[in-house]
C-alpha cells in the first residue's frame, strides 16, 4: 500500500510541476525590448481591431523593422499564435463573435545577428494583454 501511495504522490508532484508556464524572455541574453504600449481594441461589425504603439527606442543589436507576436485565446482556449512583420501597429481579427470571450497578448519580436548556433536570434518583449 505504501508503494502505491508513493507512486501516486510522485505522479501528482510531476503534474503540479508541469503546470508552470515559465517566461522565456527573462532567460534571453542581451538588452530587453520594451513592451507595446496603449494596447486597445475596437469592434467593427465582425472584426476586432487591435491597435498599439511600438517602443520608441529599441536595443542597438535589434535588426529593424521588428515584428509583432500575437497569442490569441477564445473562451479560454488557445486559438493560435501569429507573427506580423514590418513593424505593424494594428491587427484585424476576423470573424469576431460577441458571444465569446477573447484575449490577445501582443509582444514585440526582434531579430539579432548572432553566429552562435546555441543562442537564439530572436528576442521578445514582455507581453501586453487585452481581454474583452
Indicate yes or no: pTM above 0.85: no
One-character DSSP codes across 73-112: EETTEEEEEEEE-S--SEEEE-S--TTS-EEEEEEEEEEE
**Residues with Cβ within 8 Å of residue 118, at least 6 apart in sequence:** none
| Domain locations in the chain as residue ranges | 23-131
DSSP symbol at 28: S
3-class secondary-structure state, position 68: strand
pLDDT digits (tens, 9 = 90+) for 60-102: 888 889 999 999 999 999 999 999 999 999 999 999 999 999 9
pLDDT band at 120 (very low <50, low <70, confident <90, very high): confident
Q: Which fold has domain 23-131?
A: Immunoglobulin-like (2.60.40)
Amino acid at each position: 500500500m505504501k508503494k502505491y501511495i508513493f507512486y501516486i504522490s510522485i505522479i501528482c508532484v510531476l503534474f503540479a510541476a508541469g503546470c508552470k508556464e515559465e517566461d522565456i524572455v527573462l532567460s534571453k541574453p542581451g538588452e530587453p525590448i520594451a513592451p507595446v504600449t496603449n494596447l486597445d481594441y475596437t469592434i467593427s461589425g465582425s472584426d476586432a481591431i487591435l491597435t498599439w504603439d511600438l517602443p520608441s527606442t529599441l536595443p542597438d543589436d535589434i535588426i529593424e523593422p521588428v515584428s509583432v507576436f500575437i497569442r490569441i485565446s477564445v473562451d479560454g482556449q488557445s486559438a493560435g499564435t501569429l507573427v506580423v512583420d514590418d513593424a505593424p501597429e494594428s491587427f484585424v481579427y476576423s470573424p469576431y463573435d460577441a458571444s465569446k470571450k477573447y484575449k490577445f497578448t501582443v509582444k514585440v519580436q526582434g531579430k539579432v545577428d548572432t553566429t552562435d548556433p546555441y543562442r537564439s536570434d530572436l528576442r521578445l518583449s514582455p507581453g501586453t494583454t487585452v481581454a474583452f
